[in-house]
Structure 1
């Protein structure tokens, strides 16, 4: 926070100095915009190891080009800078390197004199020295002293040559103050110079026979070794090889692997044993060469750069350890006897963990840049399982160092809800296309999947990935609701304290606690605070600002007839428009006005968002067609526009099920309305006695069926499912859980209300039974009119009803009436008694089919609602 405050103050001062305004409001606006730009700008840090490598390269290049003064000056200042550097030093040095132009050729060491204070004393010259102490060699101080009189002839010759060259008195011409520049030609020696031959001959392990045997390694297998070395000499060569230096004992084959050179051996040791032991050293050297090559490869990924730096540090420790072995066995001590076997034991023990690291590097795949974390995690668990305490601690510490680099973009995502640009290892991607606000939660960001549908993230993070994903999405969603940055209700993501000491607690827990459990517990604690705070704040905003509960209440009032009085009023107005024979009964504007006016008394409903439409063209067909089948009501669509935040939870596809349920409830009420509006005939004449029995029985069974289906849909399905959905919605942790709860709720309603494809025949049979109420109401009306009208009027009315039935036969298929009902309608030549018998038979067949089908579903799904519906339908089937 102090760092952010300091940056904010500096930005404000900068804006105040540059902007031509004195308004505090504008200054604050400019400040927020500048801070937002700084926060959103994503720039990777400079690789400090690469910068220092380039500087060391400049030092080496200067020495190669015989510019030692420049090399010494640069090296001296790099050494001084190492004790004064801070976190911005690599960036400054990188900037200077990018601005430089051929620094080795264009720089002049003399320019550094301008930065130094003037000398307080005159420079010392040879004239001053000779004047103070003449070089007259009176004391023979320039004579060469023979410290080893019994030395070899070669040493004597070499010493004589050096003595002859160094015993010469400096020429008097060199004693002046003039600087003499050495010529390159003076430093070169001809090929046949005796001094060069002395140096080559001193390299005793390179005789001519040795060179010839190296050219043909197979030639020395069946012959005794041509060069016998001491163990001390071979130990030195082995250490050099392990340090990555070129040696004579080991060569590289065509596959760039180390092999033992032919033609060498150790006195009193069999050649096969020497070759086998040195081959084991070569295997270790191959592993170390893999590591050395990998740490010098170019990479732009922060995770791999961190891994390279961590390995380089450990490799440096191993090199120091190898130097200690070198010093231990090669120091001239009488009590120390060099042993190649003991060196191998020490080297193998100290390099074993680095060999495990080489195995990790060999198993890495370029397509999975985070694979290094998975390998380190597995190695840590493997070492713990076999009781390798050193390996467990080594790999765990290496894992946590790399995990710190991986967790930084995750932490940024959880805090800001935004992704870094060109992040190649993050398992979350942003949709580049424009996403509507109604699908912001599901479509703006998505999880990245691999070819086998696995999450593009380390295996040990798959469980927590969804919480990380939802935490950032919650912050992003809150930003669109008007919340910029972190608010008082949201907690900041804790700084990653995922270290070996904090997670594994070796001092308290030891090494027996399973590493996966320790890691999962620590990581869950790391993300828990941010996840719960962002999720709870988003839930609160959806309730308070967006009105989630009010919208759910509104959907129940509109589609589920929660207020029976208002819903009945709307249904009656629709039925009356249908029964009056108006060709414009489904007029969009008229029906919308009816709905809005009726529901205006409900506070949770936004009547301006309510709209009613008909999929069938107004006035198409004949006026009486709409009243002949329940299918006419399926043309109605009641649309309620949801606020965009709620539309991310209650999806548009779910509203289709709401509309289907509304139509179903309206159709059932339509059937009850037709049965209840007609009065039963009171004429008890003997001629109509059989017809009256059929009318009363069919009326009772149809009304029983309509009441049973209505009770099942409203009480057993809608009421029970809605209460359960509301409870689960209150307990949901985040928006994803809320969406899942509502989708499960919609899926349950779709199944239990028979809207699925597998329940299609049952629903069709129920619609056919409801259509029977329309036909039955026509016949019932004809009998009612016979008791009040004259015979001529009765005949005219009957003919009118039959004519209506005949005229509508060509349109009846549009409403998908059942086959049995369609046959009874189309057969207009039958008498009313025959029609009643046909309806009764049709009802019994369809009712029996529905009852048996529901009983089968009840046994298969074991649902309480299905069992109660099957029992109620069975009771209705037993009615006389």
Structure 2
């Protein structure tokens, strides 16, 4: 407790001294905050003790350094003082010595030790020195270098303590002090040129042809040797500044003052112009390599340019070494031949780079496309050596560019750091049912500038392979793909043309991953996800594959509609549908849901006796998410429209058959037109329904199974199913261009329902007459049971037929005329379609509907 109190007192004194806070404000919030921070810093265990062995090791090393630098007096003095400290040792001695070591500044250079007799003497006062005592012409201070900033960066480690003490122990700011010069140092004689070698100095000065004093002022031209001109040319080609070649922006100009004694000015100017043109193009390449590049394959391209520039510089260095050898012959013409030969590839690349700078910056694939076109052009011209060298550069760039493609196809992940990759993530809601369609998009950019021209045909395959891997990852069925070496992709003999070689390499890259992922995904969809059972379930629910289950739903639904009851109860309809399909093993009844459309019901509420009311009934079947990616919502909507059309046909037949059964129980007069209409309407209904189910749907289903079995990937499966749905939609007369025929058939179905209602209304009228006769009332009651009477009464409330305006016979004739008109209209429309597109099903349906004409 005493230690804590003393520590608190010391902390208060420290805060008062450092923060300049009056003792009256010791209880303020600021003082308390500072006190908590100081206590946290001084808390026990927050700082470790100094390693005393490391300090002792540093001091021993310091003594050895003094001895190595011939400062034995310093080593002896340090040893004596350490021995004296050992006799008076305390617990804080390592910390004190460590602090002294950190505060030391070049002790081997700046420390001095006085003899004992000098230490005993009193220190003498130093004489002051003023600026007037310094002579400007004095040798000690005449050198202007004393006024320059002292550079300590070049100090040797032997003259400083930094080699012994770690950088962590060095102070951040060292005091600047002048270094002492060893007075005993003697400059060696070989550092000076002997006076008798004045001719050598003169020859060196004379060799500097750019000096004006080396040329006669009387002549305008300056004569130089061919070796000097060759050296200047090599320097210029290497990107170094010269006197003869002057850089003008991105070009080189030639100083016309220089001339060769054995060459005309015109010939020399032409020769130097050739060199300057090559040098300007090489300078463009060097400038391009210094530009910052953010696109990965462009960085590889710049690295390839640097390698080729380095090779060219090595050739120039070899030429220069050959010129310096004894007995060599220097020829500018031969130099031009050599330069053209070894710079041909760089010159071609410089011309390509010049075109790139003119193009907009939003074309990331322009460089790769230009390099591809350049190689194809060289190969067409027969320049095999240049085309092969540039092909190596192309494949280097293509390897970098294809890394994102390989990462996408092998893992199903998009490299977001690559701005040139053409696949983008577009996931917003994360619904697995739309994984294949909405999670990823092809971002081709403006005019497909994100896709190289030579890869446009294979991009969709790359996109499909990556999405297959994403699909498999969510199915927990990722395959182990062995990554191929990129060099194996184009290691085939160079007998193929370059375009074929690139195409072959990329196909190898794509086909390996695409075939593996697609085949595995198809297997998962077939065996684990239940593709075929889901398709079979859709055919049962929507395409009426099993009439035993469909008839149960129809009977209950149509009965509710005829009775005028609440047939639009979704819970009741869902329960009826699930009960009916419970006997079908491929259907998961928990996924079945019936949704009445309230909007459609409001449209049809004034005409419940029309088959259009069935448009309000929609059956939904929830597919597993892998299957929902293949069978899209649009396809399900087509299934539902076909199901509704088939149900409308069954509704019309149900009304006629039920009314005919009701007519058979009564004694009706022999009416030929009535029986003819019964027969003709049922025959047309049966044939249309049979044509749709047994010919159109059955044929399309077999074709769909065949196409799905032969599909190579999910895209092909989706395309096959969409093609089947489009064909079914057209052949079932549900497409927009066939709406006039479909509307005519719907009118015919409504006419059938109206005909049944007409018979029901006529029957109810006869029954009322019989009921008024007391002799026939008992007979009527015995003939019909109570259930049938209830049905007739309820049916009567939904009838809209009236005999006030026209009689029963007149309305029967009207029905017959409308029937003939509608069937003729449908038949003619189908024949016109058959002549237009040649589809066989139209001819078959039209011929069967023409039976009355024949």
TM-score normalized with structure 2 length: 0.71
Q: 1:828 to 1:429 in 2, by over 3 A?
A: farther
1:457 to 436, 451, 454: 451
- 1:438 aligns to 2:433 (yes or no): yes
1:205·1:227 contact (CA, 8 Å) conserved in 2?
no
Matched residue, 1:359:
351
Structure 1 Cα separation of the partners of residues 816 and 516 of structure 2: 64
**Which residues of 2 match residues 722-733 of structure 1 at below 5 A?**
722-733=701-712
- 1:547 aligns to 2:537 (yes or no): no
- 1:866 aligns to 2:842 (yes or no): yes
Matched residue, 1:633:
614
Count of aligned pairs: 670
**Which residues of 2 match residues 812-851 of structure 1 at below 5 A?**
829-851=805-827
Matched residue, 1:322:
316
**Which residues of 2 match residues 412-427 of structure 1 at below 5 A?**
412-427=407-422
**Which residues of 2 match residues 226-241 of structure 1 at below 5 A?**
226-241=221-236
Deviations 1:626-682 (A, max 9, x none): 2x1111111111111112221111112221111111111111111122222233868
1:397·1:499 contact (CA, 8 Å) conserved in 2?
no
**Which residues of 2 match residues 368-517 of structure 1 at below 5 A?**
368-431=363-426, 433-452=428-447, 454=448, 456-483=450-477, 486-487=478-479, 490-497=480-487, 502-503=491-492, 505-506=493-494, 509=495, 513-517=496-500
Q: Which runs of 5+ in 2 are unaligned?
A: 1-150, 165-181, 781-790
- 1:719 aligns to 2:698 (yes or no): yes
Please, what is the CA RMSD of the aligned residues?
A: 4.0
**Which residues of 2 match residues 424-823 of structure 1 at below 5 A?**
424-431=419-426, 433-452=428-447, 454=448, 456-483=450-477, 486-487=478-479, 490-497=480-487, 502-503=491-492, 505-506=493-494, 509=495, 513-582=496-565, 584-616=566-598, 625-626=607-608, 628-679=609-660, 692-781=671-760, 790=769
Q: 1:593 to 1:769 in 2, by over 3 A?
A: same
Q: 1:210 to 1:745 in 2, by over 3 A?
A: farther
Matched residue, 2:271:
277
Q: 1:226 to 1:581 in 2, by over 3 A?
A: same
1:404·1:498 contact (CA, 8 Å) conserved in 2?
no
Structure 1 Cα separation of the partners of residues 426 and 216 of structure 2: 65
1:765·1:850 contact (CA, 8 Å) conserved in 2?
yes
1:109 to 147, 151, 156: 156
1:587·1:618 contact (CA, 8 Å) conserved in 2?
no
- 1:347 aligns to 2:327 (yes or no): no
Measured after TM superposition, the shift of residue 688 of structure 1 is: 5.9
1:455·1:462 contact (CA, 8 Å) conserved in 2?
no
Deviations 1:356-385 (A, max 9, x none): 111222233532334332222222222111
Measured after TM superposition, the shift of residue 791 of structure 1 is: 5.3
Structure 1 Cα separation of the partners of residues 439 and 794 of structure 2: 60
Is the partner of 2:246 in helix, strand or coil? Answer: strand
Deviations 1:326-382 (A, max 9, x none): 34456442xx54332222122112111111111222233532334332222222222
Q: 1:464 to 1:622 in 2, by over 3 A?
A: closer
TM-score normalized with structure 1 length: 0.69
Q: 1:157 to 1:239 in 2, by over 3 A?
A: closer
Measured after TM superposition, the shift of residue 552 of structure 1 is: 0.8
Q: 1:616 to 1:395 in 2, by over 3 A?
A: same
**Which residues of 2 match residues 80-229 of structure 1 at below 5 A?**
109-110=156-157, 156=199, 158=201, 202-207=207-212, 226-229=221-224
Deviations 1:775-832 (A, max 9, x none): 21123345666887745669999xx9999999977xxxxxxxxxxxxxxx78951111
Structure 1 Cα separation of the partners of residues 185 and 657 of structure 2: 135
1:225·1:265 contact (CA, 8 Å) conserved in 2?
no
Is the partner of 2:457 in helix, strand or coil? Answer: helix
Structure 2 Cα separation of the partners of residues 537 and 732 of structure 1: 13
User: Which structure would you say has the larger Rg?
Assistant: 2
1:554·1:605 contact (CA, 8 Å) conserved in 2?
yes
Q: Which runs of 5+ in 1 are unaligned?
A: 1-103, 118-124, 148-154, 160-197, 214-223, 810-824
**Which residues of 2 match residues 327-338 of structure 1 at below 5 A?**
327-329=321-323, 331-333=325-327, 337-338=329-330
Measured after TM superposition, the shift of residue 225 of structure 1 is: 5.8
Moved more, 587-596 or 534-543: 534-543
Measured after TM superposition, the shift of residue 621 of structure 1 is: 11
Moved more, 587-596 or 426-435: 426-435
Deviations 1:298-324 (A, max 9, x none): 334332222222221111111111223
Measured after TM superposition, the shift of residue 715 of structure 1 is: 2.0
Q: 1:621 to 1:644 in 2, by over 3 A?
A: closer
Deviations 1:520-575 (A, max 9, x none): 22222223222112112222222232211111111111111111111112211211
Matched residue, 1:257:
251
Measured after TM superposition, the shift of residue 433 of structure 1 is: 2.8
Structure 1 Cα separation of the partners of residues 431 and 257 of structure 2: 77
2:407·2:414 contact (CA, 8 Å) conserved in 1?
yes
